[in-house]
Amino acid sequence: MVGSSHEALHRIFQKDPALLTRALQRVLHVPFPEPHEIAALNVDLTEIEPVERRVDTLLRAETDEGTYLLVVESQGKVDDRKRGSWPYYLSYLYEKYRCEPVLIVITQNSATARWAARPIRLGFPGWHSLTVRPLVLGPDNVPVITDERQAEQDVPLAVLSAMTHGRGPRAAPILESLATALKTIDPDSAAVFVQFVDSCLADPQAKQMWRDLMTAIQYFWRHPLAEQVREEGREQGLEEGREQGRAQAKAEMVLRVLEWRGIPVPEHVSERVIACDDPAQLERWAQRAVRATYAEDLFVEE
């Protein structure tokens, strides 16, 4: 199970390697040749001496113009030690595989993105023996995908958008469009993407909204991460019995979805939802809450 945003930000490219080349072409506008095969490689760059060096994700892209090594580094903050380790990674990989290495850094932080984008120049002024120019994916260039149709056209890119912008004020519409798009792909892939996004949502309100949305479309509760949430619910006394606890949690989830979407909830609507103990009815209301304009829209067919 992915347990951190650092891990999720680079593992998404292991889940869908082609997403990385699409990001290079469409987001960074780098004329990277279209690969006809991409394979994951061993990320361990350790040599005989007891110094462990590992890249986050390493992919080999076979193209008509040659073979490239795509080195993906997830960076949470400024770390000047990387100014030494990144050139080492590229030199080592070129020596080992005799393929051209390309460094891609992904981050959720704009300041970190600006730092990572600075060229690394080794040597003396006017004569640099080595220059490294990282390609950076971050909140300033990864597209904000809030349109459902756009999200459905490229679900992995929509996932990357949610992961990158999960800390920003635009998280709610991004998560809503992605929730809809996830219903168009196979459940196993959707469950993996759900976990990636959940790991990257640092804001507690955004994380709770995401979990509510996933409950509404029945992906979240089949995922291992759901056990953690169920345990949290037990600790808070939300489950006084399996059926009663499930109904109570779903009722609260319906109201939270409306709240996070900025829809006022009158008292009579809140009382009716809380009083309901039918899990199937609450499930229908939860699905309607994702698209409702008014709180009363929950009961439109009743």
Which residue in the block uniquely carries the two structure tokens 């196993």?
188
pLDDT at 80: 92
Cα–Cα distance, 26 to 203 (Å, whole number) = 28
Contacts of 126 (CB under 8 A, 6+ apart): none
pLDDT single digits (tens) 202-254: 888 888 888 888 776 655 444 545 455 545 555 555 444 456 666 777 788 78
pLDDT at 239: 45
pLDDT at 38: 83
Torsion sign across C-alpha atoms 154, 10, 182, 213: negative
- Residue 182 in this model has a pLDDT that exceeds 80: yes
Mean pLDDT of 166-184: 83
Mean residue pLDDT across the chain: 81
* pTM > 0.75: no
CB 242 within 8 A of CB 234: no
- Residue 299 in this model has a pLDDT that exceeds 70: yes
What band does 193 get if pLDDT is binned at 50, 70 and 90? confident
pLDDT at 245: 60
